[in-house]
Structure 1
């Protein structure tokens, strides 16, 4: 029931209230806070391996902003990782069972958090004020969409962090000459998008470029291909950190523009910076990687065995 309530999956009237409540809270997050938060998490969480940093730190950042105490962050990250398995048709029965249990536990944690009115975070206070202003009281839908924030952060942010480090492996000089990690992450979001495609579902007959689509049809949107459109980005097949007027479709566009784009880029940039402070950029070449099986994501998994083929 979580998936059906997600605001990002529908534009119906019942999905507008969570959008109106949560989007302003996301936009209001001060990205300047992210550097300190990431630094604290990297120091306090057991993220000795790159994969752990990729899949744990971004979710913990969002969970901390929402208001979970430090003692809950690792559990929330682990449960979110289990939950996202239910979003993939490639998951097996064991993963789906684990995802169901994770969804149940996440719902319990969020229910307890929302019930503690005396200890609301700035983010939750913003959300709850918007709910009151619009007289929206669907608690289950709110919980579903807060879980959705974590699930959207999980693999997409891991992919953005990982693909940024892959770019450094392939072009070690990218950060020379005064280029910033934030520029690297912003360009990688376009050049090697962690979200390669998304889907839209037709609700009434329409015509797109001479093709008649019927209700129930599915439209596959190739976001990564749009990022490489030379009409949108000159020299699209080059990774140019100094690119001006960069157009990135990885976060959607128009009504489906992700309101957390700036936040996601900031989290990924700070996570990459934290890793490079631990491991110099030259050490990225010591890693090898394989990409996770996925129908829409491009997410590397790293290991240090030089003898294993990518």
Structure 2
């Protein structure tokens, strides 16, 4: 086991506990990077000005630099610090806060979810992006296309993607850009208000609207899938309300297990000296289980008091779409359960990833 393999291990949480005992911020000689495992260390790293989301010498991964996917990647607020992060966030985040949650639930309810493995896959991966695309102003046919293109585009965000997947990501990025150019020409209220707030160029705005779809793709899929696993493992949870269930799922078994930070200048973090060029693997899922911030952290408690979670990040890079993702996931889980899927017949494996914990389901024969 190592901190990267742990993300898709059957049960990484005892290993995370061992890491916390060894120290909140320690060096992993095998991976040649620092590992932040305690809540205190994770907070310190995510808040530190010298800890950046991309290495200074490689703002865009070399594998996609020069192509359409690289152009989008390089402008994403989640992949930038400073003004390139603050400008799109200040335009998009206020509009996300104004979205009517009832409208989201209505859009989810309008989708047909079939009680089979293909239906689960589409509900987890395609449905949430369709909902976001509809909120942005795309019609149902366009929304489905946006979800399909987003599925191809997200390959550029993973170091595990092969050349064929990266080629598809470049094509998808180009096509997505075309759809968003048309959308900006005749925007709905959400997009029009975002345009008014945005002080950058149109390409940067388009990139971050594509980013809103791509973040929805994996974050929502993991939330939905891990909620179903919680229900599969503990039948007593099946009477719980979906909102209460998802609130604890995102802490207990988050879809984003870790993130990375790159040290831009020598500094001290949590009593440890780091040098420019060092890489830190930030174990968000481990911090969620730290008893220093959550009592009885290894128990799944629907009514957990003072719940603390790093699953949506912390500080300046905290995910602005948290409420949107949680609402979509909650409504989708409700619709899946309404179809009468037999949760006891689920089997799964985790989608290959260095940081995501997203189950892919099949349904066993009765």
Evaluate the alpha carbon distance shift between residue 42 and residue 247 of structure 1 in structure 2; reply closer, same or farther with a 3 A threshold.
farther
- Offset at 1:48? 5.5
Residue matched to 1:182: 243
- Offset at 1:43? 6.6
Q: Contact between 1:47 and 1:53, CA under 8 Å: does it hold in 2?
A: no
- Map 1:213-252 onto structure 2 (within 5 A): 213-252=274-313
Q: Contact between 2:87 and 2:200, CA under 8 Å: does it hold in 1?
A: no
Q: Contact between 2:113 and 2:335, CA under 8 Å: does it hold in 1?
A: no
Alignment partner of 1:95 out of 143, 165, 168: 165
Alignment partner of 1:32 out of 96, 102, 106: 102
- Of Structure 1 and Structure 2, the greater helix share is in 1
- Offset at 1:129? 2.0
Deviations 1:133-158 (A, max 9, x none): xxx14111111111111111101110
3-state DSSP of counterpart to 2:130: helix
Asked if 1:140 corresponds to 2:140, the answer is no
Residue matched to 1:163: 226
Alignment partner of 2:266 out of 189, 200, 205: 205
- Offset at 1:13? 2.0
- Point out the more displaced range, 197-206 or 259-268: 197-206
TM-score relative to the length of structure 2: 0.77
- Map 1:105-116 onto structure 2 (within 5 A): 105-116=175-186
Asked if 1:130 corresponds to 2:201, the answer is no
Residue matched to 1:253: 314
**Structure 1: runs of 5 or more not aligned:** none
Asked if 1:266 corresponds to 2:327, the answer is yes
Q: Contact between 2:312 and 2:322, CA under 8 Å: does it hold in 1?
A: yes
Asked if 1:72 corresponds to 2:142, the answer is yes
3-state DSSP of counterpart to 2:112: helix
Q: Residues of 2 paired with 1:265 and 1:244: CA distance? A: 19
Paired residues in the alignment total 295
Q: Residues of 2 paired with 1:204 and 1:25: CA distance? A: 35
Q: Residues of 2 paired with 1:121 and 1:189: CA distance? A: 31
Q: Contact between 2:128 and 2:217, CA under 8 Å: does it hold in 1?
A: yes
Q: Residues of 1 paired with 2:208 and 2:276: CA distance? A: 26
Q: Residues of 2 paired with 1:227 and 1:137: CA distance? A: 36
Say which structure, 1 or 2, has more relative contact order (CA 8 Å, 6+ apart).
2
Q: Residues of 1 paired with 2:238 and 2:292: CA distance? A: 27
Residue matched to 1:277: 338
- Offset at 1:217? 2.2
**Structure 2: runs of 5 or more not aligned:** 1-70
- Offset at 1:221? 0.8
Q: Residues of 2 paired with 1:64 and 1:163: CA distance? A: 25
Q: Residues of 1 paired with 2:148 and 2:276: CA distance? A: 38
Alignment partner of 2:121 out of 40, 51, 55: 51
Q: Residues of 1 paired with 2:306 and 2:153: CA distance? A: 36
3-state DSSP of counterpart to 2:110: helix
TM-score relative to the length of structure 1: 0.91
Q: Residues of 2 paired with 1:251 and 1:74: CA distance? A: 26
Deviations 1:9-36 (A, max 9, x none): 2222233211111111112212222111
Could you say what the CA RMSD is over the residues aligned between the two structures, in angstroms?
Answer: 1.8
